[in-house]
Structure 1
Amino acid sequence: MTTTQNTQALRWTLVLLAACVAMLIFAFSASSDVTPELPQPVAKKYYKLWFKNNTPPPSIQDELKWWPDLKKIYQKNGYNPIWLDGFKLNRSGELLRTLIWETISDGQQFSGYHYEIIESKLNQANHHPRELTVLDLILTDAFLNFTKDSLSGKLTPDRDDAAHSNLSKVKIKNQLQIQRLDVLAVLEGYTNHDNIGEFLQNLSPQHQGYLQMRATLARYLRLSIEHPWLPIPQGPTLSLGQRHEQVFLIRKRLILLGDLDQILPQEPKVSTQQSFSYNSSYPSTKDKNTIDAKLQAIEAELVKIDPLQHSVYLYDYEIQQAVKTFQSRHNLAVNGNIDKKTRQLLNIPIKQRAKQLALNMKRWRHLPPNLGDRYIFVNMANFDLAYIERGIKLASMKVIIGKPYRRTPIMSGKIDTVVINPYWNVPYRIAVKDILPKLKKNSNYLRSHHLEVLPNWNNDSSPIDTTDIDWNLQSSRNFKYRFRQPPGPNNSLGNVKFLFPNDYAIYLHDTPKRNLFSESQRTLSSGCIRVEKPIQLATLLLNSQNGWHQQAIETRISNRKNTHIRLKDPVPVYLMYWTAWVSKDGNVHFRDDFYDRDEIPTSTAAIETSKHRHAINI
């Protein structure tokens, strides 16, 4: 970013902050939903005292960053509390508290949100008017800090992404950032509303996926406080029908995670000193209503001899199905057994998963409020693509994304062109970093890989004879040629390419290497996204354009004619990286962070290692 751009960005930030303060003054002065029971003379006494003497309350004077603006806000509001109804938070206060809480839950450092102070004051403020007025002040300061960070894009992760080791950092250009340039108009619209809660709501994403994650995050954080996450020790593979002492802990873990719908069991306390004896008063098996009671009594006697005979230690059908659900949510082989990998993921502390959820919630900030009537979602962490139309998923397919050292960036755009039988113009970085070294070792490399050479990048260039070119004299400093593959079965882009304007030469395309889609971790490309079902995707994108049905597309492919088809209505495409999300059925899913974008350890070993690199605390 240039100095001029930095200056302009700073100027806009200052302007929007001033507008935010003005909006806050206006909204609070007109607010009708705040009906505090806190004695007004008491609250006013403290506010007037602090602002008249220009002396903040001693307990928070070092924390307040907006003291001059606070004076204007409370003066305009008649020195009344803003976030309180009586001795508790009003709806806007509770929402602000929630937004702050979920923002800091990923362990990243955000100053000025005062969460610990807010919680402390809430615990102390019961029927203490002075503490309540202090609480209201610190909440207003937190609101201004949160608003500033939200509108400036600070809360959006992955903004500076070193996508390729040999390229400068990728600057994410998403629609939320662009909207900042018009933020004054947005804020002006909110000053017509009495309820500041509506403004607060719009400072966070309102997509259904985000709201589902909010509820899940609350549950995970509650679990991290209420239940110790004891590690399940290493042990043998456990499967249906086996009895083992670990089954009790596994059963409890699956219940807490929501994979097993049972009441939390109590570990039985039995004495192994008692001997087994048959009681003749057991119910008769002739009475069908008492068979269960008889079996339970027999089990109780068996447990006296062998505690593992208790049902909580039996790897039964319900546990097997719950394990399968857990494995599916974590993209493991679904075999229903407690193997090494399943045990490892069961042992990831719930607090670490909560941090992962909180961070991935922030990634929704890359998206515009309205995704479009039809759009394409690519979740790189799950290696999948979904085509959505009017809220319905019409197609899903596997994808291949960039290698870890050539990461596909998080970005968005609009697909405006479908290319049938594309040429592949080899990007400069691939030409000089990958192909040129191989060409120097093997003079037949171009022929064996069906590559032709053009003298430059002009549109009217034609292939040239390479006989007189000494490739050993070529390097990244003087390389001027263009390598190109013509359409055909050996073209690296396959039969179809999908273009959307962007600064990184990223696009979606077919591939002749169909076998790669069977790989589990498909970080195999140089940055572009290879799609599993290109003809289906092309058919969906072109379904509103006369003549371009599936048969017509396949016919054009077969004649090998290079064809560009412009879409009448470009379709948004969102390249996202969610290592955690909640599906429509309410299940939370987790994936490996192979791009190291999360910076949150998700294995016991990684957690121990991370303690030496950085501390993450909720």
Structure 2
Amino acid sequence: LRAELASPDPGALALPVELARAMRQFYADRAYQPVWLNSPHWSDKATQALQYLAAADREGLSARDYMLAPDMTAPHGDKLGAIADMRLTAALMRYVVDVSSGRGAPEKFDPDLFIHPRRPDPAMLLATGLAAPDFRGWLDSLPPAHAPYRRSRDGLARLRQMPADGDWPQLADGPALRAGDRDPRIAILRTQLTQWGDLAVPVATAEAVAAQASADPQFFDSALTEAVTGFQRRHGLAADGIVGAQTRRALNVPPSERARQLALNMERWRWLAPQLGPRHVRVNIADFNLVAVSPDGDTLHSPVIVGRDYRRTPVFSDRIVGLVLSPSWTPPVTILRKDLLPKLREDPDYLIRKRFRVFEGWGDAAREVDPASVDWRNVSTRNLRYWLRQAPGPDNALGGVRFTLTNDFGIYLHDTPDRGLFSRNKRDFSSGCVRVQEAEQLALFALHGDPRWPLDKLRAAMVSGETRTVKLLEPLPVHILYLTAWIDSAGRFQFRDDIYGRDMLLNQALALPGPDLSGNL
């Protein structure tokens, strides 16, 4: 082993530099003795390790990335035995890191991912496992313990039991299907919805069998309308019970593609801290939804509005440390240049109606000027020397409350006076910050029984027009996520459109080949 590890390429494995360094340290700490061989066979721990590597697919990983040899049989001979031992060590080092914290640094996959999972030292992590009294139990403890991850793992197994690509029925193009229609395509629709569990299969009583035999499978009845509506809700579509183009496209996606999508999202769960916080807030960008979680379960659900495609809301974890009630708003330079200037050139009175104050210059030299005195038609992004501040009130863009976070890129959660956009199904209209429909309830959740702020006082302060800053008694963790597939608490599959193309980027990154550990030993 010492001789093999001293070579520039230990075991001819073409390992990444960091993994090769970890493996050298691992064996040096063990006086270069084999770890997995009980000559001439694998040890019990090696057999257990091989079983977990072979079953890596159940965690949304790829077992081929950790494959050792076709027969998984330990070879004879000192040199081949040393190489086999190193190969199993290298494969298991990769696996234990991948399954616990993900397959790489997220920011390398996508520059809008500001989440930094703790990457454990492979040698130290594996040494901890070998010292554990129950090695198999230790391997079981490595994946995230979050309930959504565990449900996703179970859901992945269910998806892989459904019909494969070539066997998945396809709903042909044509006019939209709705209640009262009779169409040959409806029989295919019934098959698809039955496979997904949206259309219930009647209990096989004599009466049910007779009713089913007399029913017309090509007729769109009320039960089918209910099933279509449920399917649409699970896919974030308008739940109108009508099978139009969007619903048809979603129905035609085979389970194997949904399994790939779910596996990508399991990787995202691995990036998160082991503990999200007993009380925390999660925003799912792709779902346009927020949930506030307490030890008793989900406490609050709220629709949200997130960044449009060219001003994407980033992925990150942070803390809500305070509230600003009846806030003022200073538009960032980007919004001022790209959104407000064109509006002001067309409608100079906009500033007065919306209660904006105008300042010229910066810092201590800034002075307030009359909005009517500025000829906005002659102000461009190049000669812009003004900035704005909107007074608190019913027209303020931040509504009655802003939730103060600690990040460096100016992203926060806030209320909004424009309530109409929440009725939209797809809600990517902001410039990156997150608008919360149930902002009052979220503020109450964040205050967490602070005796200084009962509900009536909070409501009054949010509409008072007098800005007040409130420091939370305890910071509240908030996680801004991007999840396009998950299993909800009722066990239902949930899928969403990849609005920012992040699934595509992650899929490309994870498809990159790893070091070849599958040589014939």
Provide TM-score, normalisation by structure 2: 0.80
CA shift for structure 1 position 98: 3.4
CA distance in 2, matches of 1:413, 1:141: 34
Distance 1:556 1:472 in 2: 38
Structure 2 CA distance for partners of 1:137 and 1:513, relative to 1, 3 Å: same
Cα 1:360–1:457, aligned 2, differ >3 Å: closer, same or farther?
Answer: farther
Asked if 1:372 is matched to 2:267, the reply is no
* RMSD (Å) for aligned C-alpha atoms: 4.5
Aligned to 1:492: 397
Aligned to 2:50: 93
SS of 1:566's equivalent in the other structure is strand
* Cross-structure match for 2:425: 520
Q: Which residue of 2 aligns with 1:570?
A: 475
Q: Distance in 2 between matches of 1:324 and 1:338?
A: 9
Question: Deviation at 1:230?
Answer: 3.4
CA offsets 1:290-343 (integer angstroms, 9 cap, x no match): 9899989xx6xxxxxxxxx77655656654443333222112333445443322
Maintained 8 Å contact 2:327/2:467: yes
Rg (Cα) greater in structure: 1
Partner of 2:167: 228
Q: Which residue, out of 77, 80, 91, partners 2:38? A: 80
1:409-488 maps to which residues of 2 (within 5 A)? Answer: 409-440=314-345, 442-456=347-361, 458=363, 463-465=368-370, 474-477=379-382, 479-488=384-393
Deviations 1:564-598 (A, max 9, x none): 01001011111111111110111010111111111
- List aligned pairs for 1:367-406, cutoff 5 A: 367-406=272-311
Amino acid at match of 1:207: H
| Residues 82-481 of structure 1 mapped to structure 2, 5 A cutoff | 90-99=47-56, 102-104=59-61, 114-115=64-65, 117=67, 121=70, 124=71, 130=75, 138-147=87-96, 154-155=103-104, 157=106, 161=110, 169-170=111-112, 172-174=114-116, 176=117, 179-180=118-119, 192-197=131-136, 200-201=139-140, 203-223=142-162, 225=164, 228-239=167-178, 244-262=183-201, 313=218, 315=220, 319-440=224-345, 442-456=347-361, 458=363, 463-465=368-370, 474-477=379-382, 479-481=384-386
Rate the CA distance shift 1:458–1:253 in 2: closer, same or farther, 3 A. Answer: same
Counterpart contact for 1:511–1:531, Cα < 8 Å: yes
For residues 85 and 264 of structure 1, the distance between their equivalents in structure 2, rounded to whole angstroms, comes to 50
Report if aligned partners of 2:35, 2:85 keep a CA contact under 8 Å in 1.
Answer: no
The Cα offsets for residues 512-548 of structure 1, whole Å up to 9 and x where unpaired, read as 1111111111111111111112222212222432220
Q: Counterparts of 2:477 and 2:224 in 1: how far apart (Å)?
A: 42
Cα contact 2:232–2:238 (8 A) shared by 1: yes
- Deviation, 1:104, is 4.4
Which structure has the higher relative contact order (CA within 8 Å, separation 6+)?
2
Q: Which runs of 5+ in 1 are unaligned?
A: 1-46, 106-112, 162-168, 266-288, 300-308, 603-609
Matched with 1:269 is none
Q: How far apart are residue 141 of structure 1 and its match?
A: 2.5
Q: 2:408 maps to which residue?
A: 503
More displaced, 470-479 or 578-587? 470-479
Contact 2:169 2:192 in 1 (8 A): no
Q: Judge conservation of contact 2:265–2:483 (CA < 8 Å) in 1.
A: yes
* Change beyond 3 A, Cα 1:576–1:159: farther
Measured at CA, do residues 381 and 53 of structure 1 come closer, stay the same or move farther in structure 2, by a change above 3 Å?
closer
In the TM superposition, residue 364 of structure 1 has moved relative to its aligned partner by: 1.2
Counterpart Cα distance in 1 of 2:210 and 2:159: 40
TM-superposed deviation, 1:387: 1.4
In structure 2, what is the Cα distance between the partners aligned to 1:600 and 1:251?
A: 34
Report the CA distance between 1:457 and its aligned residue.
5.6
Give the aligned partner of residue 593 of structure 1. 498
Could you tell me whether the CA contact under 8 Å between 1:172 and 1:410 is conserved in 2?
yes
- Give the Å deviation of 1:404: 0.9
Question: 1-side partners of 2:49 and 2:238: how far apart?
Answer: 45
Partner deviation per Cα, 1:176-227 (whole Å, 9 max, x = no partner): 2xx4599998788656424444554555322110111112112223435497
1:94-146 superposed Cα distances (whole Å, 9 cap, x missing partner): 333334664446xxxxxxx744855x71xx45xx6649978876443222234
SS of aligned partner of 2:290: strand
Q: Identity rate of aligned residues, in percent?
A: 33
Instruction: Quickly say closer, same or farther: Cα 1:114–1:345, change in 2 above 3 A.
Output: closer
Does structure 2 retain, via aligned residues, the 8 Å contact 1:424–1:491? yes
Name the stretch that deviates more: 238-247 or 339-348.
238-247
**Aligned partners of 1:62 and 1:138: how far apart in 2?**
8
Q: Which AA in structure 1 matches 2:238?
A: A
* Letter in structure 2 aligned against 1:347: N
- The 8 Å contact of residues 351 and 371 in structure 2, kept in 1 or not, is answered as no
**1:356–1:156: structure 2 CA closer, same or farther, 3 Å change rule?**
farther
Shift in Å at residue 559 of structure 1? 3.0
- Cα distance in 2 for partners of 1:155, 1:64 equals 15
User: C-alpha offsets along residues 237-274 of structure 1, whole Å, 9 cap, x if unaligned?
Assistant: 44557654434433332333233444999xxxxxxxxx
Distance 1:337 1:258, change over 3 A: same
- From the superposition, tell whether residues 429 and 583 of structure 1 become closer, same or farther in structure 2 (CA, over 3 Å): same
The residue type paired with residue 481 of structure 1 is Y
In structure 2, give the amino acid aligned to 1:80. Answer: N
CA distance in 2 between partners of 1:81 and 1:579 (Å): 48
Q: Judge conservation of contact 1:158–1:597 (CA < 8 Å) in 2.
A: no
- Figure out how many residues of one structure are paired with residues of the other and give that number: 501
1:379 deviates by 1.0
Indicate if the aligned counterparts of 2:60 and 2:156 stay in contact, CA closer than 8 A: no
In 2 relative to 1, CA 596–154 (structure 1 residues): closer, same or farther, beyond 3 Å? same
In 2, distance between residues paired with 1:103 and 1:82?
A: 33
SS of 2:435's partner is: strand
- The change in CA–CA distance for 1:77 and 1:159 in structure 2 (over 3 A counts) is closer
Deviations 1:356-381 (A, max 9, x none): 11111111133211111211111111
Structure 1 residue 447, shift from structure 2 partner: 2.4
Question: 2:369 is paired with a residue of what secondary structure?
Answer: coil
Secondary structure of the residue aligned to 1:568 is: strand
Shift of 1:511: 1.0
Of 379-388 and 432-441, the range deviating more from structure 2: 432-441
What is the deviation of 1:402?
0.9
Letter in 1 for 2:477: P
Distance in 2 (alpha carbons) for counterparts of 1:182 and 1:472: 59
TM-score with structure 1 length normalisation?
0.68
Which runs of 5 or more residues in structure 2 are unaligned?
514-521
The amino acid that maps onto 1:214 is R
| Residue among 548, 573, 594 paired with 2:453 | 548
Q: Deviation per CA, 1:403-422, whole angstroms, max 9, x where unpaired? A: 11101111111111111110
